Amino acid sequence: MAGEQVAFFKGGFRPLSDATVSVRSKALNYGLGCFEGIRAYWSKPENQLYIFRAEDHYERLLLSTKIVHLKLNMTVEQLVAATVELCRRNAPREDTYIRPLVFNNSELMSPQLTDEPAELAIYTLPLRDYLDVTKGVTACISSWRRVSDNMIPARAKPTAAYMNSALARLEAKENGYDEAIFLTNDGYVSEGSAEHIFIVREGKLITPSSQEDNLDGITRRTLCQIAPELGFEVVVRRISRTELYVADEAFLCGTGAEVCPLVSVDRRPVGDGKPGPITMALQKLFWRVVRAEVPKFADWCKPVYPK
């Protein structure tokens, strides 16, 4: 990337330094917003940047705005077009993270969601490994429970709910772990602080459903769709805490985390304490899929630069 970066804000493209909000903004004061995280992957052989599952992310974002009553007067097609143009203007030649954010930018007092139009901001930044996807990470069961869907709806990816994630990750870091794993109020596994979770038992991939107070994850959905290509069965069901301790393998996944091996939980090794073969096979296939190297799934990858 060269020169000052550009953001999409207030209906147009402007220098990133000009894309600012007031200290009185409701979004800043009360967390009244929702967001998406989208990856774009650089393919050196193709000299191309591919935005991964852009339409799916924006469909989810519009569902989020509906849940939290933020009115965004743009279609999925318009949002994707703005994102492609933003990437072209910033011209990255590396793996890139895209952050669309919809928020209440009113400066009126009170944490009230009103009928006024919401503000949209989109920016990009370089992003390589969010977690150690080669060696894997350690995790603990957090003493903080996942916020219930009837408290702050996780499927809306609300900005306010990430205080819950920040507290869990802080606790994990202070106690010598890389990540935290949330339980639901019923005591079942929900997700990581900002990632979904899979375990492997008897050769099957097992993951909690989005009814366990977690996001309807697009990376998780992707893995469920591509796993059969390697002959792996996927089972969506509840996971108990102790199942994490006896799993053959486990991994975290998400737009940021991609496919990241989980090597221990609560200081108990997962399997032999090293990234497992099923996890690594899935990770390898995932990295090919996101760079449009697997024809069956190439439609998920939107090219940024004209050929």
pTM for the model stands at: 0.95
pLDDT of residue 99: 98
In terms of residue numbers, what domain contains 279? 137-289
- On whether both 205 and 245 belong to a single domain, the answer is yes
Position 248 in a domain: yes
Please indicate, yes or no, whether residues 81 and 212 belong to a single structural domain of this protein.
no
* Per-residue pLDDT in tens (0 to 9) along the chain, 307 residues: 457 899 999 999 999 999 999 999 999 999 999 999 999 999 999 999 999 999 999 999 999 999 999 999 999 999 999 999 999 999 999 999 999 999 999 999 889 887 678 999 999 999 877 777 889 999 999 999 999 999 999 889 999 999 999 999 999 999 999 999 999 999 999 999 999 999 999 999 999 998 899 999 999 999 999 999 999 999 999 999 999 999 999 999 999 999 999 999 999 999 999 999 999 999 999 999 999 999 999 999 999 999 8
In a shared domain, residues 107 and 196: no
Residues 114 and 156 in one domain: no
Annotated active-site residue 44? The verdict is no
pLDDT of 2: 57
Task: Please tell me which residue in 26, 44, 71, 157 is annotated as part of the active site.
Answer: 157
Structural domain total, the chain: 2
> Residue 57 phi/psi, 5° resolution?
-65, -40
Is 143 in the same domain as 274? Answer: yes
Give the end of a domain, one of 66, 94, 126.
126
Q: Are residues 188 and 247 in the same domain?
A: yes
pLDDT at residue 131, as a whole number: 77
pLDDT attached to residue 141:
98
Tell whether 301 is covered by a domain: no
Structure-token pair, residue 92:
């990255």
Evaluate whether residue 297 is within a structural domain: no
Single out the residue in 126, 161, 196 at which a domain terminates: 126
CATH number at residue 238: 3.20.10.10
Query: Is 152 in the same domain as 271?
Result: yes
Q: Are both 122 and 147 inside the same structural domain?
A: no
pLDDT at 115: 67
